Structure 1
Amino acid sequence: MKNSTHSHIQVGIVGGTGYTGVELIRLLSNHPNAKITLLTSRTEAGKAASEIFPSLRGVCDVAFSDADIEALKSCDVVFFATPHGVAMKAARELVASGTKVIDLAADFRLQDLAEFEKWYGLAHECPDIMAKAVYGLPEVNRAAIAKADVVGNPGCYPTTAILGLKPVIDSQNTQDEALIDKRIIIDAKSGISGAGRSAKLNLIFSESSDNFSAYGVAGHRHLPEIRQGVETLLQSKFAHHIRFVPHLVPMIRGMYSTIHLGLTDAGCALDWQAIFEKAYADEQFVDVLPKGLLPETRMSRASNFLRIGVHQDNDEGVLTVMAVQDNLVKGAAGQAVQNMNVMFGLDEKAGLNVVAVVP
């Protein structure tokens, strides 16, 4: 840590008034090794966090301030819970000062800068920092995250997709014979909080309640991130085509991704339940459910757990992988805290030992 007199990691959060921002405050306020010292907001400067979110009364009374780069430099780590394009404006100066950066937006996710500009409509402002940034999926990239100065926290959908596919891709990479068909279908659903804390017509109660809709069918910005995860992070060695369709579900929290894979005869000969269980046996936040038990979003609500169910149908030659998570926790703020723990050599569960909320 920068100041050896500090017993805790000094944490700054830029953009702490959105849903991921308040989730960071909730989780970090209970972290044994971290202390929130700086919260910034362009619109709520001067107000205490507990004034904006009464749920934080008696938990966090740090006041929001304007984003000042010099103040941010005093932190050991800064989380950016901001729109795309904000973190990259400050990353170079923060890294030069010895402050680590964890961005919950997309500024440091896509290594292909042309893809970033295409999908997010922004020219990247620090490609040199981007080249050194690490994709923050601990279950795949833990060793690199531990050495990183800048981490791009994964998108919520890609987290379920990449972790749902990892045991399959890893198995395929060890075989010369194809185990699955080329087409990978990802049918994904998210709660409304995934769209952020803002006033949008399609998100008001009378529009979203009692309704179910697809979006991004012609193309979604998380698709190139999923492809990057499969092709680069998991180093897939077989030809494939990914079809990804997200949906908006009338619930506040939760994400459910169902992945359909066609099995070849060689793929049918394997026990995929056992493969998944072995793949994640040592992971603290990925839980492979027993055979026959199917995941539900409430199994993960408000927790950092991603729960996976596996169904193998050899008669039809189909493998179905179902992954659920809280889109605001493992899909965003919880994973960001998990990354911080890895970066600072802490117990990965620190601040994240939260049981799912039922009902």
Structure 2
Amino acid sequence: MKAAVIGGTGYSAIELIRILHHHPYVELETVVSHSKTGNELQDIYPHLTSIMQTPLTGLDVEEICHTAEVVFFATPSGISKDLLPGFLNKGVTCIDLSGDFRLKSRESYEKWYHHEAAEESYLNQAVYGLSEIYSEQIRKSSFISNPGCYPTATLLALLPAVQKGLLNNQSIIIDAKSGVSGAGRGLSLGTHYGEINENLRAYKLGAHQHIPEIEQILQHESGNPVTISFSTHLVPMTRGIMCTIYADMNSFKTTKEMIELYEAYFEKHPFVRIRKEGTLPSTKGVYGSNYCDIGFYADERTGRLVIVSVIDNLVKGASGQAVQNLNILKGWDETSGLLHVPMYP
């Protein structure tokens, strides 16, 4: 299957290109970069020297539709909403890694993303690509809206308990931390080495664009209103997300009971790994991989459940999940091209 990547020089895009290079059923045909047209990938990313001499091209919708069967959009928010319909209407499978089609409400998108929203008809067509939860819908679709990185880690950690009504939906607190690659490759003072090194900083408190995405899915799956407290922090590391989640339990379940529930829930999902009692995951344990590791502590003293969820933000949080969704959509083995052992140390 021939693929194209639009927005091909960002961190998520280059990770997607790395994964596709090892995929048994996909050949990367075109990489589009508006700002770097005429260069080769190895000119921008020297680690690809002698591995990938792919030329970066400008956007030619007709040519891409003629040569590619699937297009991945690794563009910043506010761009794919204008580009993607032109491909979708020509029968090309589209997988969007930006946030343009995640929210079903145009008003909510414009409030949180500060861009004009996509047309409602396309918002309604997009299938939310949380692979382990919506595989049936993904399998029947040709238009996938890939989840955000924080929502992926958070929703996989919460949905089994929320679906069973085990948690007080108004008590959920998410303490989230991410490496600097989540901010993209563009230069800014906030991600400058001298600013981030040996530093820990909270950002976008109460204003992060992933808040409505998380609440939208939790509300849909629980059938009840959900309001979360969501705090994000930038930590001085390159990759990784850790979400430590606190919620009041409606009726107390032990740590062992929660682990057994989650093991049964994710039994057929190879990329979610549940930690044994007394052990908790770390970001290094999933570095460079498509795994999500989840651990638990049920606090009998407070009646709260603590869930720790970790992913690599560029893989399971973006490009790896996009490829996982393509695998599901095409009926291939879900793990095709994705069985990378995490890098350690």
Query: TM-score range, shorter-chain basis?
Result: over 0.9
Tell whether 2:89 aligns with 1:100.
no
Question: 2:128 touches 2:146 (CA, 8 Å); kept in 1?
Answer: yes
Counterpart AA for 1:343: L
What residue is the counterpart of 1:44 in the other structure? 36
Question: 1:181 touches 1:263 (CA, 8 Å); kept in 2?
Answer: no
Counterpart AA for 2:139: A
Question: 1:162 touches 1:230 (CA, 8 Å); kept in 2?
Answer: yes
Tell whether 2:174 aligns with 1:182.
no
* 1:305-324 matched pairs, under 5 angstroms: 305-324=291-310
What residue is the counterpart of 1:219 in the other structure? 207
Displacement after TM superposition at 1:197 (Å): 0.3
Question: 1:268 touches 1:317 (CA, 8 Å); kept in 2?
Answer: no
What residue is the counterpart of 2:337 in the other structure? 351
Displacement after TM superposition at 1:150 (Å): 1.3
TM-score, normalising length: structure 2: 0.96
* CA distance in structure 2 between the partners assigned to 1:266 and 1:187 by the alignment: 22
Counterpart AA for 1:226: I
Tell whether 2:175 aligns with 1:195.
no
The Cα RMSD (Å) is 1.5
Tell whether 2:163 aligns with 1:158.
no
Displacement after TM superposition at 1:268 (Å): 5.7
What residue is the counterpart of 1:147 in the other structure? 140
Q: Secondary structure of the residue that 1:182 maps to in structure 2?
A: coil
Question: 1:179 touches 1:267 (CA, 8 Å); kept in 2?
Answer: no
Counterpart AA for 1:158: P
* CA distance in structure 2 between the partners assigned to 1:229 and 1:265 by the alignment: 23
* CA distance in structure 1 between the partners assigned to 2:101 and 2:331 by the alignment: 22
Match of 1:333 among 319, 322, 331: 319
* CA distance in structure 1 between the partners assigned to 2:38 and 2:176 by the alignment: 39
Question: 2:218 touches 2:226 (CA, 8 Å); kept in 1?
Answer: no
* CA distance in structure 2 between the partners assigned to 1:90 and 1:241 by the alignment: 33
What residue is the counterpart of 1:4 in the other structure? none
Question: 1:18 touches 1:197 (CA, 8 Å); kept in 2?
Answer: yes
Counterpart AA for 1:301: Y
Counterpart AA for 2:11: Y
- Larger displacement relative to structure 2 (252-261 or 83-92): 83-92
* CA distance in structure 2 between the partners assigned to 1:265 and 1:29 by the alignment: 48
* CA distance in structure 2 between the partners assigned to 1:139 and 1:249 by the alignment: 28
Match of 1:278 among 251, 259, 264: 264
* CA distance in structure 2 between the partners assigned to 1:125 and 1:334 by the alignment: 25
Displacement after TM superposition at 1:182 (Å): 2.9
Q: Deviations over 1:252-289 (max 9, x none)?
A: 00000001011244546981121111111111111111
- Larger displacement relative to structure 2 (287-296 or 82-91): 82-91
* 1:190-269 matched pairs, under 5 angstroms: 190-232=178-220, 235-267=221-253
* CA distance in structure 1 between the partners assigned to 2:157 and 2:125 by the alignment: 26
What residue is the counterpart of 1:33 in the other structure? 25
Question: 1:255 touches 1:324 (CA, 8 Å); kept in 2?
Answer: yes
Q: Deviations over 1:13-34 (max 9, x none)?
A: 0011010010011000000000
Counterpart AA for 2:200: F
Question: 1:12 touches 1:38 (CA, 8 Å); kept in 2?
Answer: yes
Q: Deviations over 1:294-340 (max 9, x none)?
A: 10000100100000011112232121100000000000111111111
* CA distance in structure 1 between the partners assigned to 2:223 and 2:81 by the alignment: 32
Question: 1:273 touches 1:311 (CA, 8 Å); kept in 2?
Answer: no
Tell whether 2:126 aligns with 1:128.
no
What residue is the counterpart of 1:111 in the other structure? 104
* CA distance in structure 2 between the partners assigned to 1:101 and 1:318 by the alignment: 41
Question: 1:263 touches 1:318 (CA, 8 Å); kept in 2?
Answer: yes
Gaps of 5+ in 2: none
Rate the CA distance shift 1:303–1:324 in 2: closer, same or farther, 3 A.
same
Displacement after TM superposition at 1:46 (Å): 1.6
Tell whether 2:75 aligns with 1:82.
yes
* CA distance in structure 1 between the partners assigned to 2:64 and 2:80 by the alignment: 12
* CA distance in structure 1 between the partners assigned to 2:167 and 2:9 by the alignment: 46
* CA distance in structure 2 between the partners assigned to 1:67 and 1:22 by the alignment: 18
Counterpart AA for 1:192: V
Question: 1:91 touches 1:129 (CA, 8 Å); kept in 2?
Answer: no
Counterpart AA for 2:156: L
Question: 2:12 touches 2:314 (CA, 8 Å); kept in 1?
Answer: yes
Question: 2:206 touches 2:230 (CA, 8 Å); kept in 1?
Answer: no
Same amino acid, percent of matched pairs: 38
* CA distance in structure 1 between the partners assigned to 2:83 and 2:207 by the alignment: 30
Q: Deviations over 1:182-224 (max 9, x none)?
A: 3100000000000000010111100010000111113211000
TM-score, normalising length: structure 1: 0.92
- Larger displacement relative to structure 2 (53-62 or 159-168): 53-62
Rate the CA distance shift 1:239–1:122 in 2: closer, same or farther, 3 A.
closer
Question: 2:241 touches 2:310 (CA, 8 Å); kept in 1?
Answer: yes
* 1:66-77 matched pairs, under 5 angstroms: 66-74=58-66, 75-77=68-70
